[in-house]
Amino acid sequence: MTAQPAIELRGITKTFGHVVANDNVNLEVNRGEILSILGENGSGKTTLMNMISGIYFPDHGSIFIDGQEVVIRSPKDAYRYRIGMVHQHFKLVDVFSAAENIALGLEDGEKFNLKKCAQRAQAISEQYGFEIDLGKKIYEMSVSEKQTVEIIKVLYRGADILILDEPTAVLTPQETQKLFAVLRRMRDDGKAIIIITHKLHEVLSLSDRVSVLCKGKYVGTVKTSETNENQLTEMMVGKKVTLNIGRSEPKDPQDRLVIKGLNCFNRAGVQILHDVSFSARSGEILGIAGIAGSGQRELLEAIAGLQHPASGEILYHNPKTGAIDNLRNKTPLQIRELGVRLSFVPEDRLGMGLVGNMDIVDNMMLRSYRKGKTAFLSRKQPKDLAESIIRQLEVVTPNASTPVRQLSGGNVQKVLVGREISSSPTVLMAAYPVRGLDINSSYIIYNLLNQQKERGVAVIFVGEDLDVLLELCDRILVIGSGYITGIVDARTTTKEEIGLLMTKAVSHETKGSEKGETDEKQ
């Protein structure tokens, strides 16, 4: 081991507009060591790593490689310092083979020879114990194989400082174990490895040291051998912050939406939701907590009729008629025609909830344009609605005929939420409704959700900030890797309890994936 760390960060600060993504972060990794960077969503882990790999440039602070100060301006610079990053979203060409992807962009001055390149990659792959067919096309590969290609690509370029951004988010437990074995071998080979994650058990089983970030701030670094899950959770979630979001007692909660045994697969055939059951009640805010990508999106989309679950029931209890309808595998239009008043604020605001190039009035019509028997649109009501939303929610816009694309994030969200609640829903689902919003706008959204709750609406709120979930919701459903890992009372639970539930999934995961495999065999 060398005396100097392979890479050291001192006082790194990066801001995007008014948002401080990294605030004075210090970090060091030695050769022959695996460092975990732990933090919740939005704690600035990826931003920090992007500065090491040349995608962003820090506002302040310095980076040292082997004790020398360096300036990294581009991914090319990063390669020069033998830094390689495996991004969460793979940068691979689908119709190319693994070997072709590895060779892409190489200018090694040698004559191009794909075979030779494949042989060299094969040697690297064998050295570290990867299992990969280099002639296979990317589109035929599983996610874990694609990840392997990305890692070999980085190693092929001679990287000895490796950064992996949430490498296990998309892997099964068995694949994760294989990856960890490979990473340990690389560590023993003298490479410095940084792995971004928010799964505690992985941190404890894999890394030598852990650095924790919380809301962009550096919390501290501990040796894995000297810590435990509880301490790490505490560091990661931070002290409880009181937000003063009002919360009333639910009045006469009744089952409104009952989900039973929902299973859902994505297009690639990977199971996203495993046997999900819960109920959402009227006059109550049900929070959904979980690491991003644990199946929240698919769950809400399945309820809204945008995903087709393989099995299970989505039962809607109609408060007017008392009828119970199964919404599973109905189209959004069929759901409406059943008289279900379901509102949905999707995560992807401008890509799904709104049309960016249309003005506010036309966006108001998205839900209601079918009204009336004539073939023509009536813009009168949407215009009134737009104007009242602009007034009531203090939307900052020149006028109601401004394209939504030109509004700021908070104002876009106000328009979307305003429209969704204007149809007096009986169920309101909101995915990350305050993401990217400033404090004021966030509170406007919280108040709106609370008003809906008081009106007897069953509100489902998917959030990432545990403090908000704890203060806003009545019950919190915790989802981990597509399983419900717990449903807790928001008034009595703690951040730590939720944090542990979010990352707990291990036992379920193994059990579930075995089940998944037998399913596939049948």
Among 2, 19, 67, 71, which residue interacts with other proteins (rule: CB under 8 A)?
71
Candidates 126, 131, 189, 348; binder of other proteins (CB under 8 A) is 348
Residue closer to other proteins by CB (options 270, 333) is: 333
Question: Could you say which residues in the range 299-328 bind other proteins, by CB under 8 A?
Answer: 304-306
Positions in 29-68 near other proteins (CB under 8 A): 57, 59, 68
Nearer to other proteins, 326 or 368 (CB): 368
**From the CB of 46, what's the least distance to other proteins, in Å?**
15
For the bound state, the minimum distance from the C-beta of residue 64 to other proteins, rounded and expressed in Å, comes to 11
Of residues 300, 305, 280, the one with CA closest to residue 290: 300
Task: Verify binding: residue 116, other proteins, rule CB under 8 A.
Answer: no
Shortest spacing between CB 121 and other proteins, in angstroms: 14
Question: In the range 372-391, which residues lie near other proteins by CB under 8 A?
Answer: 375-377
Q: Which is nearer to other proteins, 112 or 226 (CB)?
A: 112
**Least distance between other proteins and beta carbon 245 (Å):** 28
CB 479 within 8 A of CB 294: yes
Closest to other proteins by CB, 406 vs 424, is 406
Asked if 358 contacts 403 with a C-beta cutoff of 8 angstroms, the reply is yes
Contact 137, 94 (CB under 8 A): yes
Closest CB 333 distance from other proteins, rounded Å: 3
Alpha-helical segments (H) within 272-345: 296-304, 332-337
Nearer CB in complex with other proteins: 77/467: 77
Q: Rounded to the nearest whole angstrom, what is the least distance from the CB of residue 86 to other proteins in the complex?
A: 12
Of 137 and 247, which CB lies nearer to other proteins in the complex structure?
137
**Is position 358 an interface residue for other proteins (rule: CB under 8 A)?**
yes
Q: What residues contact 309, with CB distance under 8 A and at least 6 apart?
A: 262, 263, 264, 273, 302, 328, 329
Size of the site for other proteins (CB under 8 A): 60
Site for other proteins in 391-450 (CB under 8 A): 403, 405-406
Helix (H) or strand (E) holding 314: strand 311-317
Segment contacting other proteins by CB under 8 A, of 18-26, 92-100, 222-230, 457-465: 92-100
Shorter beta-carbon distance to other proteins: residue 93 or 241: 93
Using CA atoms, how far residue 11 sits from 28, 32, 212, 256, 508, in Å, is: 12, 24, 15, 51, 40
Q: How far is the CB of 478 from other proteins (least distance, A)?
A: 27
- Nearest CA to 153 out of 103, 87, 83, 94 is that of 103
Structure tokens at 80: 């020069």
Among 107, 249, 252, 520, binds other proteins (CB under 8 A): 107
Segment near other proteins (CB under 8 A); pick from 10-18, 106-114, 159-167, 213-221: 106-114
Q: Is 504 helix (H, G, I), strand (E, B) or coil?
A: helix
Is residue 192 within 8 A of residue 159, CB to CB? The reply is: no
In whole angstroms, the minimum distance from the beta carbon of 403 to other proteins comes to 7
Quickly list DSSP for 25-56: EEEEE-TTEEEEEE--TTSSHHHHHHHHTTSS
Return the exposure string of 128-158: e unless at least 16 CB atoms fall within 10 Å of the residue's CB, then b. Answer: bebebebeeebeebeebbbbbbbbbbbbbbe
Q: Quick check: 264 and 307 in contact, CB under 8 A?
A: yes
Stretch that binds other proteins, among 104-112, 283-291, 474-482, 487-495 (CB under 8 A): 104-112
Cβ–Cβ under 8 Å, residues 342 and 381: no
- One residue of 119, 228, 329, 331 binding other proteins per CB under 8 A: 331
Q: Which residues contact 223 (CB under 8 A, 6 or more apart)?
A: 208, 209, 210
The residue ranges that bind other proteins (CB under 8 A) are 57, 59, 68-77, 91-96, 100, 103-107, 112, 114, 137, 139, 304-306, 331-336, 344, 346, 348, 351-358, 362, 365-367, 369-370, 375-377, 403, 405-406
